[in-house]
A = this chain, B = another copy of it.
């Protein structure tokens, strides 16, 4: 099958590119990057997936691609095709990795849906599992005409566009995983590619991010998570991680509570540099870093002991998650206000259960208070500003 070959070649190219970039850097930086659990997990995962690519075929995806296969074959060099294949692969790899942590009978339910205006998506949800209370992994590949209000919204995000109906294309993968055990954090990630056509031609950009929301703080988890993301960024530009880490802290904020949603990660938008291929490779690295950033944390805590009190605290924090998603999250708001939106796919990010206690109070110096300190004041997990990795110190 020809598609198999395309998929292989795209992935081979992207890996070769990724490794090459690391090798181009000064040896000192490369060695520094080797330190820490995050890198090892990330590297092992890259090796595994590099081996995996040999057996990639259509049946490895969660469902048929949204774009007909013959069209994908015809436009194999188009970024739209590359992005669709990337998000299909990331979705499948992440779903399989999550299922491995679950009991045997807990599997993702797969809904492939088409959109009247053009395109569609694949929504995968695993609900009420032993390990995952609700896990949603969604891809969408949509096109059509952007209404002027939506164009206006994009303009305010730094893109200069005409204020009239414009043809657009958007492809993205997004996931929110709410585990059952309060000792396992929630993860969210989203990677997306946009094209808008105006009279000057096609404008394109990437956006995305990965962030972690623990209920109980484990500093080593946070360091591992951030270090894994940092390595994915550093392969492309060492300026990326500090910049996108701060962007993440600023974005996932609940202003009325004066707190962040979690311990952060990375977040970026409007990435149209240094070139389309380089930007795609950067997004690929980030998306590939999801499994190694998160699965080790799931393995570590999924069988941890907890009681009623910890569960209640988790549910209260999930209420905050709902507040952020419904009041502030641009993606959710934009999605729900789009006519003909598939709201079930947008709202799959909400937890299965959440709680709102009036004036919920936590004990001073408790594990809950420890978490709140970090949510009130984001931390520099890798001591980037002081020029020395905290992880390095702790392993020294």
Q: Tell which of A322, A348, A356 has the most Cβ of chain B within 10 Å.
A: A356
- Which of A68-76, A291-299, A339-347 interfaces with chain B? A339-347
CB of A344 within 8 A of CB of B326, answer: no
CB of A354 within 8 A of CB of B357, answer: no
Q: Which residues 108-123 of A sit at the B interface, judged by CB distance below 8 A? A: 109, 111, 123
Q: Answer whether residue A358 sits at the interface, using C-beta atoms and an 8 A cutoff.
A: yes
CB of A350 within 8 A of CB of B343, answer: no
CB of B355 within 8 A of CB of A319, answer: no
Q: Answer whether residue A220 sits at the interface, using C-beta atoms and an 8 A cutoff.
A: no
Q: Answer whether residue A95 sits at the interface, using C-beta atoms and an 8 A cutoff.
A: no
**A-side interface residues, number (CB < 8 Å):** 33
CB of B257 within 8 A of CB of A359, answer: no
Query: Are A127 and B358 also in contact (CB < 8 A) when A323-B326, A327-B336, A336-B327 are?
Result: yes
CB of B336 within 8 A of CB of A256, answer: yes
CB of B341 within 8 A of CB of A111, answer: no
Roughly how many angstroms separate A359 CA and B355 CA in the complex, as a whole number?
Answer: 21
Q: Answer whether residue A214 sits at the interface, using C-beta atoms and an 8 A cutoff.
A: no
Q: How far is the CB of A311 from chain B (nearest CB, A)?
A: 12
Q: How far is the CB of A62 from chain B (nearest CB, A)?
A: 15
Q: Answer whether residue A351 sits at the interface, using C-beta atoms and an 8 A cutoff.
A: yes
Q: Which residues 308-323 of A sit at the B interface, judged by CB distance below 8 A? A: 315, 319, 322-323
Q: Answer whether residue A136 sits at the interface, using C-beta atoms and an 8 A cutoff.
A: yes
- Number of this chain's copies in the assembly equals 2
Q: Answer whether residue A60 sits at the interface, using C-beta atoms and an 8 A cutoff.
A: no
Roughly how many angstroms separate A125 CA and B358 CA in the complex, as a whole number?
Answer: 7
Q: Answer whether residue A353 sits at the interface, using C-beta atoms and an 8 A cutoff.
A: yes
List, in ascending order, chain B residues with CB within 8 A of A346's CB.
256
Residue in B136, B256, B326, B353 whose beta carbon sits within 8 Å of that of A355 in the complex: B353
CB of A111 within 8 A of CB of B344, answer: no
Q: Tell which of A315, A322, A346, A348 has the most Cβ of chain B within 10 Å.
A: A322
CB of A326 within 8 A of CB of B322, answer: yes
List, in ascending order, chain B residues with CB within 8 A of A352's CB.
355-357
Residue in B109, B134, B322, B358 whose beta carbon sits within 8 Å of that of A344 in the complex: B358
Residue in B327, B343, B356, B357 whose beta carbon sits within 8 Å of that of A256 in the complex: B343
CB of A347 within 8 A of CB of B356, answer: yes
Q: Tell which of A134, A256, A323 has the most Cβ of chain B within 10 Å.
A: A256
Roughly how many angstroms separate A333 CA and B358 CA in the complex, as a whole number?
Answer: 18
List, in ascending order, chain B residues with CB within 8 A of A348's CB.
358
Contacts A/B (CB < 8 Å), 5 sampled: A134-B358, A322-B326, A327-B333, A344-B359, A354-B356
Chain A residues near B (Cβ < 8 Å): 109, 111, 123, 125, 127, 134, 136, 256-257, 315, 319, 322-323, 326-327, 333, 336, 341, 343-344, 346-348, 350-359
Excluding A326-B326, A327-B336, A354-B356, 18 further A-B contacts by CB distance (< 8 Å) are A109-B358, A111-B359, A127-B357, A134-B356, A136-B358, A315-B353, A319-B350, A322-B326, A323-B326, A327-B327, A344-B358, A344-B359, A352-B355, A352-B356, A352-B357, A353-B353, A354-B354, A354-B355
